[in-house]
Amino acid sequence: MKLVVIGGDAAGMSAASQARKRMGTGELEIVAFERGRFTSYSACGIPYWIGGVVPGLDPLIARRPEAFREAGIDVRTRHEVVAIDLRRREVTARDLEGGGELREGFDQLVYAAGAVPVTPDWARVDAGGVFGVQTLDDGAAVQAWLDRDPAPRRAVVIGGGYVGVEMAEAMVRRGLDVTLLERSPQPMSTVDEDMGERVGKAIRGLGIEVRTRTPVRGLETLDGRVSAVVTPDGALPADIVVLGLGVRPNTALAAESGIPLGVTGGIRTDLRMRVVGPQGHVDGIWAAGDCVQTVHRVSGRPVHVPLGTHANKQGRVAGINIGGGYATFPGVIGTAVTKVCDLEVARTGLTESEAAQAGFEYVTAAVESTNRAGYYPGAVPMVIKMIAERRTGVLLGAQIVGREEAGKRIDALAIAIWNRMPVEEMTALDLSYAPPFSPVWDPVLIAARKATEAVHAAG
């Protein structure tokens, strides 16, 4: 049997590795195509590499192509799959360095092409200094631009989501003057507006100029390089522009080949990561990672949540099943965490707007506390917000904005949401306590108690 994998990062190589683990080279031939130069790397670490927190490129690479080849997986980097023929069961790949095309037949196919940055027409300029940050090759291009002589002095980051705020931090660390532009009322639109307001205030306190409700109309160039970002309020000088406008599933090739897509634009799969169409399963076709649509366990709705954690899990599930085992991917609840300098922002479950769209009636509660006992050195404030279903008190969502040791508390809340815990039950959780780690009443417990009071008050 021959397995062809499209995409050599987290999902694709996890699938290939798991299938190889369960089937020997005499039983299964594996060919993986990757358009870039690297395999199995941490794209999430790129801002920290650019900002100098991570010393160089190598720590971000989990496993190089040579290691996969030694394990019996034929990895072909700098090869882009340009066509899939489901009837003839073959793919066509283009050699991006040597030129020419080749065809490779398959019995099983894993589509793991990831996501691509959202790039508006105004950003498609033939000039240097404008970057998306999706792959290690993108990160290397940013590094090379920052190392130019003379070095860039002014950075404009467009988009206040995870990539945007992380790249804003990286630019600050590199000594640039940074402006962050966001169309929404507040940065970090993945949290509620009241929490986003706290994030915006904290980011401004780091010396970053934040302009909200500010759309971009275009880019100005000079001598083949970007020179300014045009907004309704005028042009902002820029020596480098970073696009952090989000990503969309990289599914154009899948759609052209007849692989069915869901309402989010991602590929539809079942729990085992088999591709599903109107007529049922598409025989021998699997998909995993940032190119797929999954289900939100709280709202029950289809969602596209591109994260490396999900990609690795989904690829592993697909590979186990291809190799003759049995595994499922049960969905997501949207847990995420990020930081800007010493500010930590985390979320899980539903925001208020998402809860309303899903049809829930809900109550909210927000509390201010500290990461440690107030008298212990280094105690700093944090805010935890909870969203609970009005009738049952089941925790629907939670958000945290704080500093050191705040963000990872979201994991306890994620476990509660995953298991549909009522906030009243959470008030008695046996959480750890010692002054260097928590007040005697952990902020999670205080927030749960306040949310319980809100549920009782709502009747």
Instruction: Report, as residue numbers or ranges, the catalytic residues.
Output: 44
- Indicate the pairing of strand 108-111 with strand 2-6: parallel
Cis peptide before 150 (omega within 30 of 0): yes
The Cα–Cα gap between 23 and 64 comes to 21
Q: Please, which residues have CB within 8 angstroms of residue 360's CB and are 6 or more apart in sequence?
A: 350, 389, 390, 396
Unique residue bearing structure tokens 């809340």: 413
361-to-8, 65, 217, 388, 395 alpha-carbon distances in Å: 43, 50, 39, 9, 12
With beta carbons less than 8 A apart as the criterion, state whether 145 and 51 touch.
no
For residue 267, list its beta bridge partners.
261, 292
**Pairing between β-strand 218-222 and β-strand 362-370 as defined by DSSP bridges:** unpaired
Using DSSP, state whether 359 is helix, strand or coil. Answer: coil
Least Cα distance to 240 among 135, 160, 151 occurs for: 151
Contacting residues for 29 by C-beta, under 8 A, at least 6 apart = 1, 2, 3, 74
DSSP string, 168-231: HHHHHHTT-EEEEE-SSSSS-TTS-HHHHHHHHHHHHHTT-EEE-S----EEEEETTEEEEEEE
Place of tokens 């995953």: 418
Tokens (6 digits) for 348: 């899980």
Q: What contacts 6, CB < 8 A, 6 or more positions away?
A: 12, 33, 81, 84, 91, 109, 110, 111, 112, 113, 253
Strands 302-303 and 294-295, how do they pair? antiparallel
Among residues 256, 245, 248, 334, the alpha carbon closest in space to that of 291 is found at 248
* C-beta atoms surrounding 307 within 10 Å: 17
